[in-house]
């Protein structure tokens, strides 16, 4: 097997090695069933047990209250952008959206097809480098939607926004789910594509409060009703069985790290090391406002796109892959989700120091001059 390198990909992203090993061992036979994990019917006892265990571990991990349903769906977070307004918004109602990056903008586009959208805040003017503190909610929105971590711009809500009245809070947590403690009872619905912190692409976790399952519109296609999936325990049609299996392993892995408090501590340390270096560097500059820096996606630039490209190649030669920033913003992005090893962060810092020494001439025209 070829040697693994440090993978800073924003998603699909690095998974815990022990999880991959266990999955590998079960490819040909899940336990002693004689049938590989990819080959089991979702209606058979072995896979039903996998689903039950995945849900049990998920509930344990985030202390999910009994009046919430845990659903394993398909279509990625992007399908949730449409499913949420399809269920909860109509021509006579308004939903409030906090626009803090490209993904929340996409969520808005979908919601507009179903009802009125009010932009409760918009960070576009500052190129989404900050999460605006000001909020302009409508009086009684059908729900308030926000994106807890902005994968592309590297910002993260330090705490969840407080919606007006009893409006349900809806969160796209795709890129920071289960990276820190979460009080689920503050939310109406939380959703996340699995491919960053939870498992492979192809499965979407939805945690939804019972009353919202019931509130969902009825005159919409069956597959887009939360009710359908809640009633059928996520097995209305053929579910993403392998994805749920892997998620189960990842949930157990997170519990083994000390649960959400344990991974939060590790994540704080990893991101802290990286930001400390970036703050003192004379060549590299972090792009996000310090008050809302993401612990999952650390974005930075030199100030010179050519030098950025050189650094990405330099790092790639040193076994650091996936550091190129998103195509819409450029620069660099280090995605350091739960499973990204601390040793990789340290190696990145050493590599940046090495590059900085080699380019000391560039420092005078660097970001610090532009800062």
Catalytic residue IDs: 103, 172, 196
78 makes contact with ligand PMP (CB under 6 A): yes
Question: 9 Cβ partners below 8 Å, 6+ apart?
Answer: 321, 322, 335
Span from 76-84, 180-188, 224-232, 315-323 in contact with ligand PMP (CB under 6 A): 76-84
State both tokens at 227.
């009710």
Q: How many residues does the chain have?
A: 371
Tell which one of 172, 182, 260, 331 touches ligand PMP (CB under 6 A). Answer: 172
CA 177, CA 205: separation in Å to the nearest integer? 10
Indicate left, alpha or beta for 161 from its phi (over 0: left) and psi (-120 to 50: alpha): beta
DSSP secondary structure letters along 217-238: -SSS-GGG-HHHHHHTTT-SS-
216 makes contact with ligand PMP (CB under 6 A): no
Tell me how far, at minimum, the Cβ of 339 lies from ligand PMP, in Å: 16
174 makes contact with ligand PMP (CB under 6 A): yes
Closer to ligand PMP by Cβ: residue 177 or 352? 177
Span from 42-50, 167-175, 205-213, 258-266 in contact with ligand PMP (CB under 6 A): 167-175
Tell which one of 83, 147, 228, 281 touches ligand PMP (CB under 6 A). Answer: 147
Closer to ligand PMP by Cβ: residue 335 or 366? 335
74 makes contact with ligand PMP (CB under 6 A): no
CA 152, CA 254: separation in Å to the nearest integer? 24
CA 350, CA 32: separation in Å to the nearest integer? 46
Span from 30-38, 72-80, 125-133, 276-284 in contact with ligand PMP (CB under 6 A): 72-80
Tell which one of 122, 129, 156, 175 touches ligand PMP (CB under 6 A). Answer: 175
CA 9, CA 320: separation in Å to the nearest integer? 10
Tell me how far, at minimum, the Cβ of 101 lies from ligand PMP, in Å: 7
Closer to ligand PMP by Cβ: residue 294 or 367? 294
Tell which one of 6, 103, 146, 187 touches ligand PMP (CB under 6 A). Answer: 103
CA 143, CA 346: separation in Å to the nearest integer? 41
Residues near ligand PMP (CB under 6 A), total: 11
151 makes contact with ligand PMP (CB under 6 A): yes
Tell me how far, at minimum, the Cβ of 173 lies from ligand PMP, in Å: 8
State both tokens at 123.
């960070």
Tell me how far, at minimum, the Cβ of 344 lies from ligand PMP, in Å: 20
Indicate left, alpha or beta for 147 from its phi (over 0: left) and psi (-120 to 50: alpha): beta
Closer to ligand PMP by Cβ: residue 204 or 367? 204
76 makes contact with ligand PMP (CB under 6 A): yes
Closer to ligand PMP by Cβ: residue 124 or 261? 124
State both tokens at 74.
């398909």
Span from 30-38, 60-68, 170-178, 276-284 in contact with ligand PMP (CB under 6 A): 170-178
Tell me how far, at minimum, the Cβ of 203 lies from ligand PMP, in Å: 9
Tell which one of 6, 11, 110, 114 touches ligand PMP (CB under 6 A). Answer: 11
Q: Per residue in 109-129, is it b (16+ CB within 10 Å) or e — as a string? A: ebbeebbbbeebbbbeeeebb
Tell me how far, at minimum, the Cβ of 182 lies from ligand PMP, in Å: 15
Task: Say if CB 347 and CB 6 are below 8 A apart.
Answer: yes
Three state DSSP letters for 236-304: CCCCCHHHHHHHHHHHHHHHHCCHHHHHHHHHHHHHHHHHHHHHHCCCCEECCCHHHECCCEEEEECCC
Binding site for ligand PMP (CB under 6 A): 11, 76-78, 103, 147, 151, 172, 174-175, 193
């Amino acid at each position: 097997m070829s040697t693994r390198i440090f993978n800073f990909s924003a998603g699909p992203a690095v998974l815990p090695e022990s999880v991959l090993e266990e999955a590998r061992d079960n490819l040909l036979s899940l336990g002693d069933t004689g049938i590989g994990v990819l080959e089991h019917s979702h209606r058979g006892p072995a896979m039903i047990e996998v689903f039950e265990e995945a849900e049990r571990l998920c509930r344990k991990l985030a202390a999910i209250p009994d009046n919430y349903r845990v659903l394993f769906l398909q279509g990625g977070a992007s399908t949730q952008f449409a499913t949420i307004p399809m269920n909860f918004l109509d021509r006579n109602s308004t939903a409030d959206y906090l626009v803090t990056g490209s993904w929340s903008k996409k969520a808005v586009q979908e919601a507009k097809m179903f009802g009125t959208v009010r932009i409760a805040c918009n960070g576009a003017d500052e190129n989404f480098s900050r999460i605006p503190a000001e909020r302009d909610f409508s009086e009684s929105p059908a729900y308030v939607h926000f994106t807890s971590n902005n994968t592309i711009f590297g910002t993260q809500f330090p705490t969840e926004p407080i919606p007006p009245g009893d409006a349900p809070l809806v969160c796209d947590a795709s890129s920071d789910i289960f990276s820190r403690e979460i009080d689920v009872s503050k939310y109406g619905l939380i959703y996340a594509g699995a491919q960053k912190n939870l498992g492979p692409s192809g499965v979407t976790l939805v945690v939804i409060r019972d009353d919202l399952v019931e509130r969902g519109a009825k005159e919409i296609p069956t597959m887009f009703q939360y009710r359908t999936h809640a009633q059928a325990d996520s097995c209305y049609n053929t579910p993403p069985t392998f994805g749920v299996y892997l998620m189960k392993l990842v949930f157990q892995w997170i519990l083994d790290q000390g649960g959400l408090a344990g991974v939060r501590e590790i994540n704080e340390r990893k991101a802290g090391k990286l930001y400390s270096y970036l703050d003192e560097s004379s060549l590299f500059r972090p792009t996000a406002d310090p008050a809302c820096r993401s612990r999952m996606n650390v974005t930075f630039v030199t100030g010179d796109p050519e030098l950025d490209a050189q650094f990405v190649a330099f790092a790639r030669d040193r076994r650091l892959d996936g550091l190129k920033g998103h195509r819409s913003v450029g620069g660099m992005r280090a995605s350091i989700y739960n499973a990204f090893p601390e040793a990789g962060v340290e190696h990145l810092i050493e590599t940046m120091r090495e590059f900085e020494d080699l380019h000391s001439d560039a420092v005078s025209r660097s970001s610090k001059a532009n800062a």
